[in-house]
Amino acid sequence: MRLIAPRNSGPAAVNKYLLPHEHQVITVRKHPAVLIGPIAIALAGLLIALVVGTTVLRHSHNGIIVLVFVVVALLLYLGFKTWEWSEDYFVVTSDRMLEASGVFTRKVAMMPLVKVTDMSFQRSTLGRLLGFGDFILESAGQDQALRTIDHVPYPEQLYLEICALIFPAEKIPCPQCDGQGILIQQNEDGEETTYLCPLCKGRKTVTSDNLIADRDSGDD
């Protein structure tokens, strides 16, 4: 799967923030896992309303009406959060990184690519299971409008794409072995086998150009 977008493609909600000479390179929504919290709140509220409605307020007409309003409010809350997620985008252009968020109050945070001095991503246990991560940006300036981008889908692939734009000839830590040069595999008996990382060949670092070439050959 490729995340490189053709020139002038992408949602109109993003295009209107681009400069005349700029074009989108990567445009993604945040991972749907960002909705886990709102979904959990809505389901918990619905379950509590169901239990209370069938026990304590079973014979209370007014109480049932109140519970119906609570259920409707929870569903509206979940619908709003889903709408908000559908309108939020993380965008990498030929010149900048942008995060556009918000529905009624629109917020656009931006970081020029030339000012990014370092970038890394981290993944929690849940992120590894569901396939998302967080990007942390470092800049030479003290005030950064865009520092952390959370719930990024396809973090390894996006990491490679963005590094290729920021550091086209730089060596970066190998993302497959986390810069260790080796990989450790554990079998069913708990025995560990150590072998050289096939991507960096044990050198611990790779160039972004090589990473893109390796990714493209994998797509074929």
Q: Residue 132 CB: number of other CB atoms within 10 A?
A: 22
In a domain, 216, yes or no: yes
Specify the number of domains making up the chain: 2
With cut-offs at 50, 70 and 90, classify the pLDDT of residue 79. very high
Query: What end-to-end distance do the CA atoms of the chain give, in Å?
Result: 10
> At which of 23, 53, 85 does a domain end?
85
Q: How does DSSP classify residue 101?
A: E
With cut-offs at 50, 70 and 90, classify the pLDDT of residue 102. confident
Predicted structure pTM score? 0.66
Most confident of 49-63, 169-183, 185-199: 49-63
Q: At what angle do helices 208-219 and 155-166 cross, to 10 degrees?
A: 140
In a domain, 133, yes or no: no
Q: How does DSSP classify residue 218?
A: H
Which pLDDT score, from 0 to 100, does residue 2 have?
41
Residue 88: both structure tokens together = 């939020």
Let me know if 142 is exposed, middle or buried by CB neighbors in 10 A (0-12, 13-18, 19+): exposed
Which pLDDT score, from 0 to 100, does residue 142 have?
63
> At which of 20, 55, 85 does a domain end?
85
Give the C-alpha distances (Å, rounded to integers) separating 51 from 47, 67, 198: 6, 11, 55
CB distance 211 to 185 below 8 Å: no
In a domain, 52, yes or no: yes
Residue 1 pLDDT > 70, yes or no? no
> At which of 59, 85, 111 does a domain end?
85
CB distance 85 to 29 below 8 Å: yes
- Tell how many helices (H) and how many strands (E) occur in the chain: 6, 11
Residue 31 pLDDT > 50, yes or no? yes
Domain containing residue 177? 168-220
In a domain, 205, yes or no: yes
Query: Whole-angstrom Cα distance, residue 108 to residue 98?
Result: 7
With cut-offs at 50, 70 and 90, classify the pLDDT of residue 208. low
Q: Which of 172, 177, 175 is nearest to 118 (CA)?
A: 172
Let me know if 102 is exposed, middle or buried by CB neighbors in 10 A (0-12, 13-18, 19+): exposed
